[in-house]
Structure 1
Amino acid sequence: MQQHDDIVREKRRIRGEVRARRRALTPEQRRAAGEALTARLAELVESRGARSVSCYLPLPSEPDTMGFLSWAAGRGIEVLLPTSLEGFRLGWIRPDGTGTVAGAHGITEPRGELLPEGAIGEVDLMLIPASAVDTSGMRLGWGLGYFDRCLDSLERRPPVFAVVHDGDVLDRVPAEAHDSPVTGAVTPTRVLFFG
């Protein structure tokens, strides 16, 4: 039990540091990071020949994916966005362009067609949020487990890339049995591939 408590405390500490570091970014730094991130995400999608991806609508504290979403729409790349379901599960929506709604936990979610369970396993590439990722590919989420449950449930798991800021790539993040590793990470300055 002590080891579990230590892991939970360490995860909480890292999340707090990440939140503080992200809050300290100026509007200019956020804008520049968003533009650079769009370029890195586009490079990844093009290099892998992806025609369908998952992504997310960013919270104010998350790396800004809005430029990438516009880029993908302009190139006819299908983008699926997450929606919160009961039981801390994710559903996936094909946005219809009619706006957004307030979802669970105050997170903005797209309006659109809710796809059948398992549809996310058919995309070419998954781009998911994270608080941090380590150099072995272990992802640290925000503590509710939505993405870990989603990844664990997939029969076919596409390549998964955590989207983070440069300072969120750490030497090590604590992990428990339910935590899911990722294929790589995308930051404003680089695309990383793990293992």
Structure 2
Amino acid sequence: MPRLIDHDARRAELAEAVWRVITRDGVGRVSVRTVAAEAGVSAGSLRHVLPSKGLMLAAAMDLVVARTTERFLAHPPGVRTRAGARRMLAELLPLDDERRLEMQVHLALAAEAVGHPELDGVRAAPDDAVRQACRTVLELADAGGHLHPGLDLGAETTRLHVLVDGLALHLLGGALSTRQADRLLDEHLAARWRTAP
């Protein structure tokens, strides 16, 4: 009986190989040949799943978004405390090796997408996901009665998104410690929170 192939798992394995090429050699070195060698597969096998550099880069970014979303959604539904909101938002920050790698890939791909219209989706997807995650945390906190009444959730989402992006960049570059980032995030939330932390 022929072996069934889990195409999603195969795509994720190949996307991880793209990550390794990007972080070791740079986006410019991503090719069918280099990724196939990194993944330990034939070029023909790789082309069957990801036939072009653009599709390889898109798969790499899709995996960043999928892994971050999976961690974010693993939190219990609802926001009961400010600390709970911070824990959810921390999934968007490079606080461990896995999240640092994801952020490095994200930034490398975002830089590569500039000037390449075919990669617009690659650049937009993680930004959209972070914005939606920020919006979700605020909506959950608001629904739980934790936020000051009358806040403009659209404007607050933008503020929180900008803060999270800035914290992520400064954490990745070593300009902030984890403790400093947590304090800044808590201060931002505290100014909007009306219930106990």
TM-score (norm 1): 0.30
Higher-strand-fraction structure? 1
Larger radius of gyration: 2
What TM-score results when the alignment is normalised by the length of structure 2? 0.30
Structure holding more helix per residue: 2
